[in-house]
Structure 1
Amino acid sequence: MSTPTAPVAPAGARVVLATHNAGKVRELRSLLAEALPALDVETAVVDAGAVGAPDVVEDGVTFEQNALKKARAVAAHTGLIAVADDSGLAVDVLGGAPGIFSARWAGRHGDDKANLELLLAQLGDVPDEHRGAAFVCAAALATPRGGDHVELGRMPGMLLREPVGDGGFGYDPILRPAGEDRSTAQLSSAEKNAISHRGQAFRALLPHLVAALSADS
């Protein structure tokens, strides 16, 4: 019987982002490049696939619990600093739902169209003034030594009655951020990142990540 081999990180890797989403990796690299100009972010920051990190069951009951669970599992698996996030849509009249179930609200994980259509149907009779909602994100950091930290970001807005815009993903086409006259799906990537729940959470986490990288040097 063969013995499982230990995970091998790419040369120069120091941070693993617990995702297979290339957009999230680009965002973290950009933030780190500003904070640590001497860091070669292209080699230092890698995704979960680059280190063969296993998928983690997100069975927590809050965004914070799921993000921390993913970050801790990947840090333990790789021996590297790990960053993870969990995010979703919280609708006021639904008491914060879909929340942590946002990606599987219609029953099948990742079916954006079905999730969006079901939510709109459930809110069909809700007046405009009561269609408040917010995108919420928890970003977590974990180190192989056992230290961790989590930060929250929130982008409030109002839910539209039908999808508008071709950008973004998930529920972006039906949320109009506060202060905007466009849906999230109509914003450019730069506009969205400047105000988004994920951008807020990652920027708040950044000083802790910089400190962890400095301690690891």
Structure 2
Amino acid sequence: MKIVVATHNEGKLPEIRNIIEAELGQAAQHIELVSAGSMNLPDPVETGVTFEENALLKARDVARRTGLPALADDSGLIVDVLGAAPGILSARWSGVHGDDEANIDLLLAQIADIPDNKRGARFCCDAALVVPQDCREQRDDGSVPQAQEVARLGEMKGTIIRQRRGDNGFGYDPIFVPDNQPGRRNANGEKLTSAEMTAEEKNAISHRHKAFVALAPEIKELIG
């Protein structure tokens, strides 16, 4: 079964595929993941005010355009002392979408006076699956179930530090120290930021990983 992932970032596909293979085992061989970008689909305007709304919005758009089951996710950073912020505005917190350095500079300035023990934060991700009605299996009585829509949340809790550390990852990774550590420290004996972790170490504890693991039972049900 072909499932379209609502992204133009081809790097997401191997990560999602690895999660599905780990959770579904042999059943995963019946799934072919393709990206919306590879099908030349446009990016929908994200008008939702929550991660879940935006994830479902993106998955619905792809499912409507292709008639195929669609996966999507939306994620961001929530800093405790800022309430729900930056939240869905994480990628454009400084006013320019995707300017990681400016976003980090602004966030650090906003919480500069907050003591170290009050700088808790968490990355959140909602992963969504939308299955069009035409893809739903017919019931024994001949009826066809309505289109399926489901979203699952994953979180990675941690702390915001005061100075950048590490060259890996993207976004706020250089200033975020996850609570769940991989069992090693950096050269100075400090806990690792997400940007000091390898891709494998980060993916194993990430909010996106947890969200798609939680969504795996619905994906398994889809392929029967």
Residue 156 of structure 1 contacts residue 177 of structure 1 at CA under 8 Å; is this kept in 2?
A: yes
Deviation string, structure 1 residues 185-216 (Cα, Å, up to 9, x no partner): 111111111111000001110110121133xx
Q: Which 10-residue stretch deviates more, 178-187 or 114-123?
A: 178-187
Count of residues paired in the alignment: 201
Deviation string, structure 1 residues 59-80 (Cα, Å, up to 9, x no partner): 1110000000000110111111
Structure 1: 5+ residue stretches without partners: 1-12
The 2-side partners of 1:79 and 1:36 are apart by 26
Matched residue of 2:158: which SS? strand
The 1-side partners of 2:112 and 2:19 are apart by 39
The 2-side partners of 1:201 and 1:46 are apart by 19
TM-score (norm 2): 0.86
The equivalent of 2:140 in structure 1 is none
Q: Which 10-residue stretch deviates more, 154-163 or 205-214?
A: 205-214
Residue 154 of structure 1 contacts residue 196 of structure 1 at CA under 8 Å; is this kept in 2?
A: yes
Paired residue for 1:191, among 201, 217, 222? 201
Q: Share of identical aligned residues, percent?
A: 53
Paired residue for 2:218, among 183, 208, 213? 208
- After TM superposition, list the pairs within 5 Å mapping 1:1-217 onto structure 2: 14-34=2-22, 35-37=24-26, 39-40=28-29, 44-145=32-133, 146-180=147-181, 181-214=191-224
Deviation string, structure 1 residues 29-67 (Cα, Å, up to 9, x no partner): 1123331525547x8101111222221111111000000
Matched residue of 1:84: which SS? strand
TM-score (norm 1): 0.88
Q: Which 10-residue stretch deviates more, 119-128 or 22-31?
A: 22-31
Shift of 1:22: 2.0
Structure 2: 5+ residue stretches without partners: 134-146, 182-190
